[in-house]
Amino acid sequence: MDLGLNGKVAVITGATQGVGRATALQLAHEGAKVAICARGQELLDRTVAEITAAGGVAIGVQADVSLAADVERFMQSAVDAWGGIDIVVSNAGSNAAGAFETVDDALWQADLELKLFASIRMCRYAVPHMRKRGGGRIVIVTSTAGKQPAPKSVPSSVSRAAALALTKALSKDLAADRILVNTICVGRIKAGQHERTAAKQGSTMDAFYAEMSKGIPLGRVGEAAEAANAIVFLASAAASYITGTSINVDGGSSGAL
């Protein structure tokens, strides 16, 4: 199936590991030009090299998307390189979670800047360029915790819930401009942060992921490419009548649709 992504310009945050990296690789494979950002230069360079070695087109920008100036600089880099923006994938995030009484204002603010305001600023910047091009796609990566918060899940679950509301609100505001806005709600997906946690615990990855798999109906932790598949679909021509919705990519673990 031709997904209609050849020549499209995509910007992807948190794109050097996990879901973001897999999304960048798949979009580039489908012919999109991808601008990626992350805070670490070494992984950024490695990911760009991997994309270009496979015949794709990519640029990398070192940026911290919790900072408004960095978001604007990153987005402008795609416009400067290729004349506009067609696809936004807001993926940067972290797993900041604890009991309510342990979370101070600084952690609340940092989490909202990273998971909510980064998406707001990216969309604010991209929308005028999308209008000029006759439409676009926005995919905000959230989590099932935004729909069904667990104990000791703040501030992350609250930031994710706010991003779900942003998705729905933007889908209403931007539908007339043919800008479609959706979210994928990820569950337990293999990621670099899990490798670091397993190393600290002195656990093997097989044992660590086996423990994480408990309670997942499909019996395993998801692959980053499986989440990327959903994102690329929502960014494509195949999803031309889908907006304002969420797709759970969680192996069936969430109790919420």
Other CB atoms within 10 Å distance of the CB of residue 56: 20
Other CB atoms within 10 Å distance of the CB of residue 245: 15
> How many Å apart are CA 254 and CA 231, to the nearest integer?
19
Task: Using the predicted structure, report yes or no on whether residue 194 has a pLDDT greater than 90.
Answer: no
Quickly state the pLDDT bin for 156 (edges 50, 70, 90).
Answer: very high
Vertex 130: Cα angle to 128 and 134 (nearest 5): 120
pTM for this structure?
0.96
Return the amino acid letter for 198.
A
Distances (CA, A) of 131 to 79, 126, 166: 14, 9, 19
Q: Please name which of 244, 248, 125 lies closest in space to residue 181, comparing C-alpha atoms.
A: 244
Stretch 2-22: mean pLDDT: 97
Quickly state the pLDDT bin for 95 (edges 50, 70, 90).
Answer: confident
Distances (CA, A) of 228 to 71, 72, 113, 198: 22, 24, 24, 24
SS3 of residue 59 by DSSP: strand
Residues in the chain: 257
pLDDT digits (tens, 9 = 90+) for 43-60: 999 999 999 999 999 999
pLDDT digits (tens, 9 = 90+) for 101-118: 999 999 999 999 999 999
> How many Å apart are CA 123 and CA 64, to the nearest integer?
16
Q: Which residues pair with 78 in a beta bridge?
A: none
pLDDT digits (tens, 9 = 90+) for 163-181: 999 999 999 999 999 999 9
**Cis ω before 155 (30° cut-off from 0):** yes
Instruction: Give the start-to-end residue ranges of the domains of the chain.
Output: 9-187+222-249
Class of domain 9-187+222-249: alpha beta
Residue 245 has what pLDDT? 98
Task: Using the predicted structure, report yes or no on whether residue 29 has a pLDDT greater than 90.
Answer: yes
Contact (Cβ atoms closer than 8 angstroms) between residue 26 and residue 232: yes
- In the numeric block, the tokens 């204002």 are attached to 105
Other CB atoms within 10 Å distance of the CB of residue 58: 24
Stretch 86-109: mean pLDDT: 95
Contact (Cβ atoms closer than 8 angstroms) between residue 3 and residue 230: no
Residue 37 has what pLDDT? 97
Task: Using the predicted structure, report yes or no on whether residue 72 has a pLDDT greater than 80.
Answer: yes
